[in-house]
Amino acid sequence: MDNRLFFVIGDLVGNLACGAIAGVLAWAIVGPGWNMWLAMFAMMALGMAAGLVLFVPFSIKFGAMEVMLPLMFSGMLGGMVVGMLAAMVPLSLDSALAHGAVSGLAGILCIWIANAMLRGVTYKSEES
């Protein structure tokens, strides 16, 4: 993952958008009559598909492998969260959009934390 500001902002915007779009798609499909577990699994797949579609335009500017996993993960989270909420209570469009965007933000934060933990502490070697 790149630490330059352009890529950090791209990650944030892409994952917020993906989570929000997955949330709106889940809101449009799922209603209070749905089983909560069925809604979660169905919208998980739909959110991942939304991430796969959104991956194409974002990968042009930010790189293919750097964008695919976070977008699909954020779409999956957004779809699951909004799908489960919509199966329990009627949601407004604004609420679905907000829950999806927050899920996208949580998704990219999880990816960044996992990346930092897997890389460990690195020190730049001094050249003599």
Residue 53: predicted pLDDT? 94
Q: Does some domain include residue 17?
A: yes
Q: Does some domain include residue 123?
A: no
* Per-residue b or e along 6-30, where b marks 16 or more CB atoms closer than 10 Å to that residue's CB: ebeebbbebbbbbbbbbbbbbbebb
**Nearest to 24, CA basis, from 4, 52, 8, 43:** 43
Question: 48-63 pLDDT, tens per residue?
Answer: 999 999 999 998 988 8
Q: Does some domain include residue 127?
A: no
Q: How many CA atoms lie within 13 A of 7 on its CB side?
A: 14
Domain that holds residue 50: 5-115
Q: Does some domain include residue 21?
A: yes
Question: 74-114 pLDDT, tens per residue?
Answer: 999 999 999 999 999 999 999 999 999 999 999 999 998 99
pTM for the full predicted model = 0.86
Q: Distance between CA 39 and CA 53 in Å, rounded?
A: 21
Number of domains in the chain: 1
Residue 7: predicted pLDDT? 85
Tokens 């977008």 belong to residue: 71
Q: Does some domain include residue 128?
A: no
Q: Does some domain include residue 120?
A: no
Q: Does some domain include residue 40?
A: yes
Which pLDDT band holds residue 73 (cuts at 50, 70, 90)? very high
